[in-house]
Amino acid sequence: MIKPDVYDATLNPLFRDVLSHYGVVALACRVRDPNRKGKVESGVGHAKRTPLKGMHFESLEEAQAYLDRWEERWADTRIHGTTKRQVSAMFAEEQPSLLALPLEPFRYYQHGMRTVHRDGYVEVEAAYSAPPPGWIGKQVAVQWDGLRVRILDPKTGELLREHRRAERGWRRIQESDRPSRTPTTTHKLLARAGLAGQSIGVLCNEIHVRQGEVGVRRILGVLALAKKHGVVLVEDACVAAIDLGVFDYRFVRKWIDRHPACVLTLRQVDPLIRDLTHYRNFIDRKAEKETS
């Protein structure tokens, strides 16, 4: 039996899942009738006052062993105050009517909200799972444990997709959800990469050709490096990646880490800027006039 305010929570799909898992039905108390809940609530207070009062345990296992002994030697053998019968005898009569527990306990999920990335995935602990098409840029509710990731509609609680947990960096998507053509957002992203730099555009296109929509995050990573370190440095890194045939974001990032901008030589980046030898010759002539 549960309280009326908790009964309202049966609309929550997680609560319904718990009831369904154990094959039970929620029985709500009558409104403004607390006596009907007393028998259920009093069991908690009884356990606190009787076996646990004043006790201290070093571990959960020690506490469980103590409670098992208490239940076997005292709780099961006592005469129940209301029924005037031994507890263990009453349980022996009811036990044949009880359902067997499920093979696995109910899995309690961690939960949170995620925004679906433009590559169509949500991230959970560095692994990626895909909802159905049409959710890019929108928020979804996510539940996960050590085995599964569940993606739900945050408004209705409807289960959209359930995937097995992927390893860090890996992805899960239902085969029918794979896009048959390149999304418009990806075309725009590749166009941005081409405008950023010729070699940047070539590398990003190769990433997309080889990795598909999975590569969208890596393309965004390349553009983020260009914004942080400057187009010139990232363009040089992309040239090196293309020459070596390594079409990967990680190579570009590591190349930049090993070739910081401060050690690069100056280079011509605009036709309006004269060659550096002109400035050097001008300074040399001025120096000769001052010394003569």
Q: Which fold has domain 110-177?
A: OB fold (Dihydrolipoamide Acetyltransferase, E2P) (2.40.50)
Across the chain, mean pLDDT equals 82
**Section 244-266 average pLDDT:** 77
Judge whether residue 173 has pLDDT over 70.
yes
**Cα–Cα distance measured from residue 191 to residue 194, given in angstroms and rounded to the nearest whole number:** 5
pLDDT of residue 142: 94
**In the numeric block, which tokens belong to residue 152?**
């739900």
Within 13 A of 58's CA, how many CA atoms are on the CB side?
Answer: 0
pLDDT of residue 273: 63
Question: Sorting pLDDT into bands at 50, 70 and 90, what band is 280?
Answer: confident
Between 206 and 6, the higher pLDDT residue: 206
**Cα–Cα distance measured from residue 36 to residue 105, given in angstroms and rounded to the nearest whole number:** 29
CATH 2.40.50 domain extents, the chain: 110-177
**Tokens 């393309």 belong to which residue?**
219
**Section 184-211 average pLDDT:** 89
Cβ atoms < 10 Å from Cβ of 286: 10
Q: Cβ(131)–Cβ(161) under 8 Å?
A: yes
**Tokens 């105050």 belong to which residue?**
81
CA distances from 55 to 48, 52, 78, 170, 212 (A): 10, 5, 21, 48, 61
pLDDT of residue 38: 67
The one-letter code for the residue type at 21 is H
